[in-house]
Structure 1
Amino acid sequence: MVTRKNPIFDTATTLGKIFGFLGVSAICGVLVAGLLVPAAAVSGSAASGSIEFFDTLPAELQVDPPSQSTRILAADGSLIANLYEENRTKVALDQISPFMKNAIIAVEDSRFYEHGGVDTTGILRAVVSTARGNKQGASTITQQYVNNVLNANLAAEGNTADIKLNGVNKGVGDKLREMKLAIALEKEFSKEQILEGYLNIVFFNRDAYGIEAASKFFFSTTAKDLTLPQAALLAGLVNSPSAFDPITNPENAKERRDLVLGLMLNQEKITQADHDAAVATPVEPKVTPSRQGCAYATTAPYFCDYVLHLLLNNPAYGADVKEREQKIFRGGLTITTTLDVNAQNVAQAESDAAAGANPDNWGASIVSVQPNTGKILNMAQNTSFLPTEGKFNQTQNFNVDKLDKDGNDLNGLGGFQPGSTMKPFTFAEWLNEGKSMNTNVNAATRTYPQNFPWKNTCPEPTVGWYDARIPGSFDLQNSDDGYYRNMTVLYGLQNSINTATFASAAQVDLCGIQKIVDAVGIHGGLPVGDNFNPPVKMTTLANLIGSTQTAPLTMASAFATFANDGKYCEPIAITSVSDQTGAQLPAQATSCRDAVKPEVARGVAYAMQKVLDEGSGSLIKPRLSTKTNFPVAAKTGTNDTNGSTWVVGYTTGVATAAWFGDPLGDQLRPGRNLTVNGEFYKAIDGYMIAGPMFSKYMAQVAPAYGTNAFTAPPTNMVNGTPARTTPSTQATAPATAPATEPSAPPTPNPAPSNTEKKN
């Protein structure tokens, strides 16, 4: 055999050094108790010292399972992505072609079944050959296996500096240790176990470790289905993966393959006819490129990346990130997730279609959860995770927080201003305090001065005001002057009237709104100081109409509470994790809690059905509503610059957040006077682009999860003083929903910047 040329996975011997150390007498077979004795044993103290040295060498090899690829799977078991440092899939010996077993033995160790780990006959033959100027190795398959295991153990520890490279930095002592361990290994394991281990660990190229990965990479087949010429080529490749690569060096590969076939014929492993037919077969690799990582996911790369970050942040997988990476990228884990491939495909298609060619890099995303489990069903956005020319390239996730609650990175953008999708929480507190949704409020009120008597039982102070009498300040605004009048709280929500929301908030405890918002899991998507998932302070008046950046996943999960009769379920992405032995590792379990009263959740669902039936959501095209399709509730939302637009809604089985807007930098780009997908918009609102994304997606996905009727709220929650239909003296109300979503007012002063909201 020729000395291996790959510096790490090469398995040939360094016979020149050993020959100088051992001498002829030992090579001729001096064996003591089954162990090779160094040549210096032939005389005096030198012999004694060498024997003592040999005796001190370890005789036990720690054979851990080899590094294997980790698989991330969708809920149906289909592959999302592979993660690995070494592309390897372990297979049992009976799942490897007999051609492969015979070929590797023929070329690497023809006396494999005859020796006890070290082949003295092979050593003697190699010495003679080397003395004649033809350097030849003599490592048995067992010795090669030992060498690979030792190096794999070092690599698993991250100790690559100590890896011993055959023919490069392996000393005589290293070689003797290898021999002793090989002899010990043969006493502990059967030949079949050693051969199986060897074929699963051996290096074929940087994209293929082990025979299964090599079979797929070079021939797009399995180890079990390798043909004779394929097996012979792969067996020959082990000696020098670069020199005999059939892709880059097909002539060398054929010559080496035919050599292996000749050895198989000489050793009576194949017939002359088999040999001749195989030799006549051209070398024609059918390469399946090896791809690892979420950038090469078959679907949902951002969901894949989110799952990976959840694992890297979990101390159950190691004391630090380095240990967790070793576990994930070398551990051969099977990670089953909550992803619904069909829902993902639909969400991806609708997200991509929202902006079309998108030269201006507007963002679009859709994320859904299952209300009664918290399972994340999809996570899509209209960007390319893998850098692609002509695409909107983005590695950050539009749908999730920047950090988790402990400050660990989630690779999220951190969310967007939710606008009027925050209004249902003020409405929920109105109902929670026993008030009827058909009670009138004075939506003509636009001034809320600094000394306004807000009810606030929280320790946090009330922040902000609306008062044009104060220099630099302004009054509360709607986008349409026809809505400064008396109206019911229900009418105000379904048409997203800012002044109605404030008039409602003025009659409830702001701290009650805060408690509901906290209970349904709403938090800021960007860290504030040491608070990595800061609360959205509802005592800051601007937050009543959505000024704090919040992730779409957070909003979908919050609205899912209303679909789930008031129970909030934390979003989860991972249902099970098992290692290569089948042992279960920590995953995520459904975790739900009572968040709002069931009757309040039912009241909110009643109201948000009307948003789609006859309110601001009725303008969405194609139409989606309880009247026209199936029971569905939703709320539109738009921020002050029109640069962040939403529809968040739900059926009894799916809750979804659809978002369209500016994901770049500080997200200050106004969504006005722009052309998207060939259509000009004077100003984009929630129903215009996010709305169709939501309606098209839900029409295709929601029926699979159940579209039952929502439970009706108590009669006294609905009944109350009917809305006045006569306009106020300030303005005339339109007969139908406003042509554009009602505008949120400028932010009260003082308050966070960039907080004027629209619905």
Structure 2
Amino acid sequence: MGASRNLIKLSGGCVVAGGLVAGILLPVTAGVGKVAADVSDSVVQITPASISADMPGVTTITDRDGKPIAEVYDQYRLPVTSDQISQTMKNALISIEDRRFYQEHGIDPRGLLRAAINDSVGGSQQGGSTITQQLVKNYLVNVVDKDNKAAQMADRADTLTRKLREARTAIELDKNLGKDEILTDYLNVVEFTGKVYGVEAAAHAYFGTTAAQLTVPQAALLAGMVNNPTTYNPYTHPVDAKRRRDTVIDAMVTNRAIDQNAAIQAKAAPLGVTGPDVPASTCFSAQPDAGFFCQYALSYLQSAGFDPAKLSNGGYVIKTTMDSRVSAAAKDAVTANVPTTQSGVANTMAIVSPGATSHEVLALVANRNLGTDAAQGQTTRNLVTEVSDPFGAGSVFKIFTAAAALESGAARLDTPLPNPPSQCFPLPGSKKCYTVHNDGDYADPITLTNGLATSPNTAFVGLETKVGLPDVVAMASRLGLRTTMQSNDVGKKPDPGSANTQYSQTQTQYFQDKPSFTLGNSPVSPLELADVPATLMSGGIWCPPTPILSVTDSAGHPVPVNAPACEQAIAPDIASTLMTGLSQDTVSGTTAASAHAAGWTRPGIGKTGTTQTNQSVAFVGGTDNYAVSSLVFADSSTPGQLCPGNPVHIGTCGHGAFGGTVAAPPYFKAMRTILGSSQ
């Protein structure tokens, strides 16, 4: 009975195999049945172009000179051409996976027949698939359906419909691609455990070499892994991996790819794997002075319309505007002022290059580093570009009052401004008034130029009231605080459902009737603050602070980047006049002592700011072709008063830190390094 039953199975297997091959090779008609119809409906449309274009790759972010600063990816894959893969690697794969690869036409009828008969008589299941069929399967699993677990299960399902679809697709692919192209595409798409995909990435990760230089034992190990990357992982299953490697070497002898002597030597070699050496797949892998820049470049491209998923697996090369020399100098300056692990104190610096057609960002650094270990001074938030300083830039905001006054004609640089020690200013639409005090002794009246240099409060609140709050608030956006002014008064996206206007309104809306605006007590973005002097130094032309020089796709073709157009924010003569007014800060104003201590004599513009509770201090400046913001602010969940010292710290220290004494010194240190002997 057992022999009869096996004979029936064997006969059935032959019928199945014959029907399988016939169903593949013959045109699909209504008479073939439901399976054939399902297959016809589900044949995958794969073209040579789609394989290379859709294959996930590593996106590389570089500085302006093309030096890589980070890599981001979903699948660590480094696509290569056929001539970049050793013949040894090709021979190893063909020997173990598909000996008749060069003779068949996408499928192997003999292999299918053998597999069908073996399955039907109760033997181990065999796929009978060719390298071309495996390319189809791996393309579906690793590319088309890489983010769809259910679809991936269907791609792997042991069903007749799936096998017929795979085989029919393979036949079509064989008609359109040469054998070497199929082999190359397969070796580029296949998985080699974990996030490592493709033979070039595997050669780098496991052996520290290239696909072109793989030796016989190395190639045999990799060829053996494609059958089951988990089972034959050389790190977790070294014994199984070596056994499989040696099986491949024996197959290479059988297929006359190597001789017996070479096989003996290859089998005697150790596995020889290193690592695995796989780069980190986020901006966290960047150097300390480049992490925030990398993060900003990606978010900037997303806001310009790039698909986030495509950015992380599209194989782009993103050349940024980052100047590594400038960035290193800025990083050294902020960490010298506030150490990376200093509790509760952040120091940011953004440097922008002015221009009439673009404002290129050169450096985005902080004493903190981008990362997840808070104990090591790391943060996942972009302290330099986001609206991250919750306390504000203090008197730096007096720039906006001065600009609005000059534009409206309410004041000139030599206009005497009333400047009593204190004054209570009427609040719009209210019987109450807003009391302001000067912190120190000042002339009364005081000219606008001297006021910008020494920063009295009553003179500027009075001037703000004279110009009108709406114009001053609008000027902040015009000169550069675009995202800042669209956030609410705690630096977040406005919540329309909140009954508290501090949370529900944008800063532009919230400060329409609050004279405190010119004293800079609201959240601000350090990068946007650096764009303000950049706008003045560009003849009043605002441009979005761009981190991108170019983007090219995986084929090396340029990809356009959409960005907001530059605008003439204020007239050139207003910008020039205001720069003249800001030119005395480092000479006779609030940063004069720090400038002298630093040996700084170069002309430029500057303005300091200190919030009332000394929880944030700021300096914005510009010289040569550099516009800069330096902010020091409390950044813990329990913020306190900033105190000067070595290092700057949180404590109780009377008047506390000031913009001129704590935020300006990093500017002088960085710029002296950047400008060198020309300073």
TM-score class normalised by the smaller sequence: 0.7 to 0.9
Aligned partner of 2:475 in structure 1 is: 516
Corresponding residue to 1:687 among 655, 660, 664: 660
Matched, 1:354 2:354: no
Aligned partner of 1:406 in structure 2 is: none
Question: Structure 1 residues 535, 655: closer, same or farther in 2, change over 3 A?
Answer: farther
Aligned partner of 1:477 in structure 2 is: 437
- SS of equivalent residue, structure 2 residue 613: coil
Matched, 1:656 2:628: yes
Matched, 1:448 2:424: yes
Cα distance in structure 1, aligned partners of 2:596 and 2:242? 61
- SS of equivalent residue, structure 1 residue 204: coil
Question: Structure 1 residues 106, 391: closer, same or farther in 2, change over 3 A?
Answer: same
Amino acid aligned to 1:276: I
Structural mapping, 1:21-420, within 5 Å: 23-25=13-15, 27=17, 32=22, 35=25, 49=33, 56=40, 61-63=45-47, 64=50, 65-126=54-115, 133=123, 136-152=126-142, 154-155=144-145, 158-164=147-153, 169-287=157-275, 288-298=277-287, 300-314=290-304, 316-317=305-306, 324-356=307-339, 358-372=341-355, 373-388=358-373, 390-401=375-386, 413=388, 415-420=390-395
Question: Structure 1 residues 203, 515: closer, same or farther in 2, change over 3 A?
Answer: closer
Contact in 2 for aligned 1:200/1:211 (Cα 8 Å):
yes
Cα distance in structure 1, aligned partners of 2:37 and 2:554? 38
Matched, 1:465 2:428: no
Contact in 1 for aligned 2:86/2:214 (Cα 8 Å):
yes
TM-score (norm 1): 0.76
Corresponding residue to 2:402 among 427, 451, 467: 427
After superposition, the CA RMSD in angstroms is 3.5
Aligned partner of 2:502 in structure 1 is: none
Question: Structure 1 residues 588, 417: closer, same or farther in 2, change over 3 A?
Answer: same
Question: Structure 1 residues 116, 574: closer, same or farther in 2, change over 3 A?
Answer: same
Unaligned runs of 5+ in 2: 1-5, 497-504
Question: Structure 1 residues 381, 571: closer, same or farther in 2, change over 3 A?
Answer: same
Corresponding residue to 1:603 among 555, 577, 581: 577
Cα distance in structure 1, aligned partners of 2:439 and 2:622? 26
Contact in 1 for aligned 2:58/2:316 (Cα 8 Å):
yes
Question: Structure 1 residues 629, 94: closer, same or farther in 2, change over 3 A?
Answer: farther
How far does the alpha carbon of each residue in 1:398-419 deviate from its partner, in whole angstroms, 9 at most, with x for none?
A: 2234xxxxxxxxxx53654110
Cα distance in structure 2, aligned partners of 1:508 and 1:300? 42
Stretch deviating more after TM superposition (353-362 or 687-696): 353-362
Amino acid aligned to 2:290: A
Amino acid aligned to 1:691: A
Cα distance in structure 1, aligned partners of 2:101 and 2:26? 18
Contact in 1 for aligned 2:61/2:320 (Cα 8 Å):
yes
CA shift at 1:20, angstroms?
8.1
Question: Structure 1 residues 139, 31: closer, same or farther in 2, change over 3 A?
Answer: closer
Amino acid aligned to 2:99: S
Contact in 1 for aligned 2:632/2:662 (Cα 8 Å):
yes
Structural mapping, 1:354-753, within 5 Å: 354-356=337-339, 358-372=341-355, 373-388=358-373, 390-401=375-386, 413=388, 415-432=390-407, 433=409, 435-444=411-420, 446-450=422-426, 465-466=433-434, 474=435, 476-480=436-440, 482-483=441-442, 485-505=444-464, 508=467, 510=469, 512-522=471-481, 523-524=484-485, 525=487, 526=491, 527-529=493-495, 534=508, 537=511, 540-589=514-563, 591-620=565-594, 623=597, 628-665=600-637, 669-672=640-643, 676=647, 682=654, 683-702=656-675
- SS of equivalent residue, structure 1 residue 260: helix
Aligned partner of 1:740 in structure 2 is: none
Question: Structure 1 residues 264, 622: closer, same or farther in 2, change over 3 A?
Answer: farther
Cα distance in structure 2, aligned partners of 1:671 and 1:345? 25
CA shift at 1:483, angstroms?
1.9
Structure (1/2) with the larger helix percentage? 2
- SS of equivalent residue, structure 2 residue 293: helix
Aligned residues: 644
Question: Structure 1 residues 205, 673: closer, same or farther in 2, change over 3 A?
Answer: same
Unaligned runs of 5+ in 1: 1-15, 39-44, 318-323, 402-411, 452-459, 467-473, 708-759
Contact in 1 for aligned 2:329/2:673 (Cα 8 Å):
yes
CA shift at 1:51, angstroms?
8.7
Cα distance in structure 2, aligned partners of 1:380 and 1:463? 46
Contact in 2 for aligned 1:399/1:415 (Cα 8 Å):
no
- SS of equivalent residue, structure 1 residue 646: strand
Aligned partner of 2:501 in structure 1 is: none
Amino acid aligned to 1:399: V
Question: Structure 1 residues 30, 656: closer, same or farther in 2, change over 3 A?
Answer: closer
Cα distance in structure 1, aligned partners of 2:467 and 2:165? 79
Aligned partner of 1:407 in structure 2 is: none
Question: Structure 1 residues 428, 56: closer, same or farther in 2, change over 3 A?
Answer: closer
CA shift at 1:617, angstroms?
0.7
Cα distance in structure 2, aligned partners of 1:438 and 1:632? 20
Question: Structure 1 residues 463, 669: closer, same or farther in 2, change over 3 A?
Answer: farther
CA shift at 1:642, angstroms?
0.5
Contact in 2 for aligned 1:31/1:37 (Cα 8 Å):
no
CA shift at 1:503, angstroms?
4.9
- SS of equivalent residue, structure 1 residue 491: helix
Cα distance in structure 1, aligned partners of 2:394 and 2:474? 19
CA shift at 1:365, angstroms?
0.7
Question: Structure 1 residues 176, 498: closer, same or farther in 2, change over 3 A?
Answer: same
% identical equivalent positions: 29
Contact in 2 for aligned 1:154/1:163 (Cα 8 Å):
no
Cα distance in structure 1, aligned partners of 2:350 and 2:197? 37
Aligned partner of 1:754 in structure 2 is: none
Question: Structure 1 residues 611, 259: closer, same or farther in 2, change over 3 A?
Answer: same
Contact in 1 for aligned 2:43/2:166 (Cα 8 Å):
no
Contact in 2 for aligned 1:489/1:504 (Cα 8 Å):
no
